[in-house]
Amino acid sequence: MYRRVIWTLFSSFLIFTALATANQEEEQVVSSQTVPVISISGAIGPAVGDYVIKEIQRANLRSNSPAVIISIDTPGGLSSSLRDINQHILASKIPVLCLVYPPGARAASAGTYILYACHIAAMSPATTLGAATPVQIGGGGMPGGTQEEKPSEPSAMEKKILNDSIAYIRSLAQLRGRNVEWAEKAVREAATLSATEALELNVINLMAESSQDLLNQLNGLTLEMEHQQLEMDFSNAQLDPREPDLRNKFLATITDPNVAYILMMIGVYGLLLEFYSPSFGIAGITGAISLLVALYAFQLLPVNYAGMGLMLLGIALIVAESFIPSFGLLGIGGIVAFVLGSVFLIDSDLPELRVSMSLIYTIAIGSAALIVFVLKTLMNLRKKQVVSGEEALIGIEATVLNDFATRGYVHVEGERWEATSDRPVAKGEKVNIVAVDGLTLKVKKVSRSQQNAGNTSKH
């Protein structure tokens, strides 16, 4: 009886505790709001685009995220990644707040488009935006070289790219009710503004010193979302900085043009080394994996296939030099093609999205050193007179097989030869071969001084 009462009371206590804990957790979830903070730092490429898009989608799926903040500090990036990001910003069911941060940061080129696409655009003091003119694919001249003189009249393709970019940023400005004229000027004339100037010209909505300051200023304000008035409430909101996951970090690493370039070279030379010494070993496995990863990275980057073709031609000529010696002609041509292909490999105006010239020169010099080594080795081999056949027997020491005065038999390198001598020799004596007459060897008796020297050397 007592046991039943005790068990009933204990069960009721457990149920009450569980319900109280659940209600408390539910109250905490309802009362606590988190605002994810996405940071764009550096050039906007495939990895950054994937990271930003995933975080925007994640914030839209969470019920306790009233908004999402994008912190920007970028010199620009790829048009494809930019448009993917903006599509998800425009489709977001919660406000996307954009802040150019920290002080000294910039939202140049692609960053300006993202700033215009966000529901709220803000800048920290001492930040800038603008310079959104699209660069012609393959333009910018030779990295590190002089800029080629451009014609005064833009080409038809340049006009198409420029007009498309102008229409795109004008549509974003009209959607968010911001300065349309300056948006067009930023694209057409590469105009730039400071944070204070941008606020005065209605390019941005406000200035904020930090993400928390941005939330404090927006708290209680009304924003139009999907043709409805939304009152923003950030009184209980907490910032939630979001870092890229392992996949994004790996993608960011391999889509670095320098890393992808090195991986491709490791892949090519690894496979060549495997072909030189056939055996599916470390060189072949490393080369195959590196080449596949490099190809995956290049298909995400703006690759110029003419540059890729020049690189492959250069590598083929360098390899051909080791098989078909041309006294450096193929090798020099291969290095020239390789360097030109490396320069033209990536179609981007941003230094962050180009292959470093120092890296190109280093690999080119290494390839040139390899060619010099191969040529030097071949020349040394050609200088050596390779003796073969009967002439190779002259000067070799033979052993007499039987006593003879003028004609008999000797043992030479495992073979029995007929020999003639101008002096009598005894069985077991050592003789030198001085000439070859058909199948007969002419031998000469080894002097005692030569025998003593041979014995001394043996001891």
Question: Per the structure block, which two tokens stand in for 286?
Answer: 């490393």
Check whether 389 has a pLDDT greater than 80: no
Task: Tell me phi and psi for residue 57, to 5 degrees.
Answer: -65, -40
Task: For 305-353, write each residue's pLDDT tens digit.
Answer: 888 888 888 888 877 776 676 666 787 888 888 888 888 888 777 777 7
Euclidean distance between the first and final Cα of the chain, in Å?
A: 108
Q: Strands 192-194, 407-412: parallel, antiparallel or unpaired by DSSP?
A: unpaired
Cα(322)–Cα(331) distance, integer angstroms = 9
Comparison of pLDDT for 233 and 395, the residue scoring more: 233
Which pLDDT value is given to residue 353?
76
The mean per-residue pLDDT over the stretch 129-138 comes to 72
HEC assignment per residue over the chain: CHHHHHHHHHHHHHHHHHHHHHHHHHHHHHHCEEEEEEEEECCECHHHHHHHHHHHHHHHHCCCCCCEEEEEEECCECHHHHHHHHHHHHCCCCCEEEEECCCCCEEECHHHHHHHHCCEEEECCCCEEECCCCCCCCCCCCCCCCCCCCCCCCCHHHHHHHHHHHHHHHHHHHHHCCCHHHHHHHHHCCCEEEHHHHHHCCCCCEECCCHHHHHHHHCCCEEEECCEEEECCCCCEEEEEECCCHHHHHHHHHCCHHHHHHHHHHHHHHHHHHHHCCCCCHHHHHHHHHHHHHHHHHCCCCECHHHHHHHHHHHHHHHHHHHCCCCCHHHHHHHHHHHHHHHHCECCCCHHHCCCHHHHHHHHHHHHHHHHHHHHHHHHHHHCCCCCHHHHHCCCEEEECCCECCEEEEEECCEEEEEEECCCECCCCEEEEEEEECCEEEEEECCHHHHHHHHHHHC
| Least reliable range by pLDDT among 15-24, 299-308, 319-328, 402-411 | 15-24
Residues in the chain: 459
Mark 254-291 as b/e (b = at least 16 C-beta within 10 Å).
bbbbebbbbbbbbbbbbbeebeeeeeeeebbebbeebb
Q: Strands 120-123, 206-207: parallel, antiparallel or unpaired by DSSP?
A: parallel
Alpha carbon of 385 to those of 106, 263, 382, 390: distances in Å?
A: 69, 42, 7, 15
The residue among 27, 56, 52, 32 whose CA lies nearest residue 42 is 52
**Highest mean pLDDT, choosing among 99-108, 349-358, 403-412, 439-448:** 99-108
Centroid of chain to Cα 38: 24
Check whether 28 has a pLDDT greater than 60: no
Percent of the chain with pLDDT over 90: 35
The residue among 215, 207, 206, 210 whose CA lies nearest residue 238 is 215
- Find where tokens 């043996």 sit: 458
pTM for the predicted model, two decimal places: 0.67
Task: For 183-214, write each residue's pLDDT tens digit.
Answer: 999 999 999 999 999 999 999 999 999 999 99
Cα(232)–Cα(218) distance, integer angstroms = 7
